Amino acid sequence: MNNKSNITRNKKDIYRNRITHYEKFRTKLQIQSDRISSVRAIVFLFIGLSYFVLRNSPSSLIAYGVPSLFGFFFFAMVRIYGKQALLITKLNALIAINQEGLLRLQNKWSEFSFTGEEFLDEASPHLSDLHIFGKNSLFQMLHACASRKGTEQLKDWLSECSDFSIIPRRQDAVKEMAQYISFRQHLLMEGRLIGKNLDPQQFLSWIKSPSFLLNKKWLVVLRRFVLSITALLIVLSLLTGMSPYWMIGILIQAIIFFLTLGKCRTSYMPALSRESHFKAYGRMFELLERFKFKSSYLANLHKKLETDGLTVSRQMKRLEGINHALCQCYSSIYPLLNILFLWDIYYLYQLELWKKEMSSSIEVFFNVLGKMEALSSLSGFAYDNPGYVYPLIREKASPLSAENLGHPLIPYSERVCNNFRISEEGFLALITGSNMSGKSTFLRSIGINTVLAFSGAPVAASEFIIRPCKVMTCIQVTDSLRLHTSHFYAEVKQIKKILDAIYPDGPTNEHSPILYLIDEIFSGTNTKERLIASRNIAIQFTKSRSYGLLTTHDLDLVSLEDESSLIKNFNFMDGIDGNGKMVFDYKIKDGPVTTTNALKVLELAGIKVRR
């Protein structure tokens, strides 16, 4: 415990030191910015003063040159001030990110606003039972994504694993990225600068939207032809004194502009409305491209950030340049630019060419970004918990073998760890125990660590070996007034789902193994029928390739161990201290429970019961 406390303390010091460093840098920049602001104001006054004093000077060079020189300095100051303001904003974001890291180590991550509650699914109750999503959940603790793609990728990895072969490679990626704390924090910072959870879906939809000029290339050809003729006529008029026929060309250009104005603006305005998103994504992609990774998983992702010899950040800068030109639609010279150069047609065509070139690869880029952000979240978890172990996923090993297994959402100081092993297929651990002794928490410890293992993250254990499987639970069953469903019927439905998953085509045709975790089986019905149903279900479980744990207060069920070698009894017990109060060690033990404590709990609560 002391070693874990020292590790946690060291990590806290790292976050505090980074916060102090960034705060000092911010203070220094703020002082410089204040000085620049003052100098800028003085320079602005000198512009007006120098013009007023020198306006009647016989030398126009002096009359206009000196104010212009002051003007140059003024705009240089404006530019420097803008850069420093952006840097201060970045430092504020980095300070906030390190403060969040500190909150995680202080077990205050439940204060984070994004809980992932929207990802809870009635069809997958284990996500709620195991606190994967929702308030005080694993997702709330792990989440460190700025884009919607990253958030959804993390959600997918925590929901269910579809490819177990990729887990070792993902673990290598998490191990490597865990070392790069500055990279992870800067990636998150660049995404957060936009001030919202970036959703690239609108961007992707726009990329795939129909184009206007690509289907009307004759307009592009007409623009070139008309501009060329007009330019030729202007040159001839200047050189030969020919009549100004070029004015006819300008008139034709004006007509083309007004005829195409509405359609062109409708086509490019969606791109302009997302310009800030493009810039944010571009900075994130640029950071990813600059970093060199060693693990094969990260290196393969890195290779995908290039198309036609150009990196995605360069493609984004190219897009930004086109957007900047199209933004002239907001300026007063917009009509003049269009009449003289047919500006909209040219830059809209460039924009649509960009869309066409990128349409096949842009989604790949954002998928890479999403994976990188999800990996960054898992890596932050690994960095904060260096004492955790990376699990081994093995097809031919025992279904589950864990040493010093604890619940990752319980603080180190309060956590009690256990050893546990599922030795073979069909194994059923029947756990009895007194109230509040830790049975439900133990089920959740196994379940949540299994979810972490299949996501590619380390787990709260010193050893964790598991076979590929699907996790299913029946722990926190609730009734539903809306659906007119009783607690018992809701429980029956969930047990039926587990059986259907174990035997998808009947009792003799089973699918991939299920790791089932069932708490207080059939607690919503009477004792006699509960006992009959529980015995039958338990025997059905042992006749499959699946395995799991089942807790119960029915001590009559412990005799099942005599009926099947695949059923083994375990227990969690309580004790009484010198003051007559119940104490719990939360340690799992072999065999059935030998005592109960329901009446004691009532007495401690102040309810008198005659024995």
Task: Please state the φ and ψ torsions of residue 502, each to the nearest 5 degrees.
Answer: -70, -40
| Whether residues 399 and 342 fall in one domain | no
Q: Which of 329, 344, 373 represents a domain boundary (last residue)?
A: 373
Q: What is the pLDDT of residue 51?
A: 65
Q: How far apart are CA 370 and CA 140, in angstroms?
A: 17
Q: How far apart are CA 8 and CA 575, in angstroms?
A: 31
pLDDT tens for 470-527 read: 999 999 876 544 444 577 788 888 899 999 999 876 554 446 799 999 998 887 666 7
| Whether residues 443 and 590 fall in one domain | yes
At residue 463, does pLDDT exceed 90? yes
Q: Which of 57, 89, 106 represents a domain boundary (last residue)?
A: 106
Angle CA 355–358–359, to nearest 5: 75
In a domain, 147, yes or no: no
Q: What is the pLDDT of residue 288?
A: 92
Q: How far apart are CA 146 and CA 255, in angstroms?
A: 46
CB neighbourhood size of 486 (10 A)? 12
Comparing 325-329, 381-385, 530-534, which segment has the lowest mean pLDDT?
530-534
| Whether residues 367 and 435 fall in one domain | no
At 124, the pLDDT band (50, 70, 90 cuts) reads confident
In a domain, 151, yes or no: no
| Whether residues 437 and 346 fall in one domain | no
Angle between helices 167-178 and 362-384 (to 10 degrees): 70
Q: Strands of 454-611 (E only): list them.
A: 463-466, 470-474, 514-518, 547-552, 567-572, 574-576, 582-584, 589-590
Question: Across all residues in the chain, what is the average pLDDT?
Answer: 86
What is the span of the domain harbouring residue 419?
392-604
| Whether residues 363 and 469 fall in one domain | no
- Give the gyration radius of the chain's Cα atoms: 34
Q: How far apart are CA 188 and CA 393, in angstroms?
A: 30
| Whether residues 487 and 584 fall in one domain | yes
| Whether residues 513 and 590 fall in one domain | yes
What percentage of residues in the chain have a pLDDT greater than 90? 52
| Whether residues 301 and 420 fall in one domain | no
pLDDT tens for 562-592 read: 999 999 999 998 776 656 677 788 999 999 8
In a domain, 131, yes or no: no
In a domain, 159, yes or no: no
Question: Is-contact 436 601, C-beta < 8 A?
Answer: yes
Q: What is the CATH number of the domain that holds 524?
A: 3.40.50.300
Q: What is the pLDDT of residue 197?
A: 59
In a domain, 81, yes or no: yes
Q: How far apart are CA 30 and CA 491, in angstroms?
A: 60
| Whether residues 369 and 397 fall in one domain | no
Q: What is the pLDDT of residue 71?
A: 75
Q: What is the pLDDT of residue 447?
A: 97
Q: What is the pLDDT of residue 121?
A: 83
In a domain, 409, yes or no: yes
The predicted model scores a pTM of 0.86
Q: How far apart are CA 519 and CA 477, in angstroms?
A: 9
| Whether residues 433 and 566 fall in one domain | yes
Task: Count how many domains the chain has.
Answer: 3
pLDDT tens for 388-437 read: 999 999 988 899 999 999 999 999 889 999 999 999 999 999 999 877 88
| Whether residues 337 and 462 fall in one domain | no
| Whether residues 369 and 228 fall in one domain | yes
In a domain, 62, yes or no: yes
In a domain, 439, yes or no: yes
Q: Which of 311, 343, 373 represents a domain boundary (last residue)?
A: 373
